[in-house]
Amino acid sequence: MSHRNVQLVIGRLVTDEELRHQFLRAPHETLAQLSERGWDLTRAEIDALIETDAQLWSWVAVKLPSRLQRCSLRSEPPQ
């Protein structure tokens, strides 16, 4: 297992609002897209990320200072 890629994905999920919305809406597809971009994740890592309580990502994001956040410039969450 490459924990480095897991750490990077977790970091992006809590700091990138648009990616977080995409992941919450379609987790399998979002992780597949990241994999296509070179973010290699094992099946076990993908399953663990998907099984994690979805509310955790938003809760952590709210707790981070805004200067650590990458906010979406869209007027509404992506569909």
pLDDT along the chain (79 residues), means of 10: 85 94 96 92 94 93 82 54
Q: What is the pTM of this model?
A: 0.80
Per-domain residue ranges of the chain: 3-64
pLDDT value of residue 52: 96
56-63 long-range contacts, CB within 8 A, separation 24+: 57/13, 57/14, 57/20, 57/23, 57/24, 58/20, 58/24, 60/14, 61/14, 61/15, 61/17, 61/20
The angle that helices 43-51 and 27-36 make with each other, rounded to 10 degrees, is 140
pLDDT value of residue 64: 85
pLDDT value of residue 71: 64
pLDDT value of residue 32: 94
pLDDT value of residue 75: 53
The tokens of 7 are what?
Answer: 């750490």
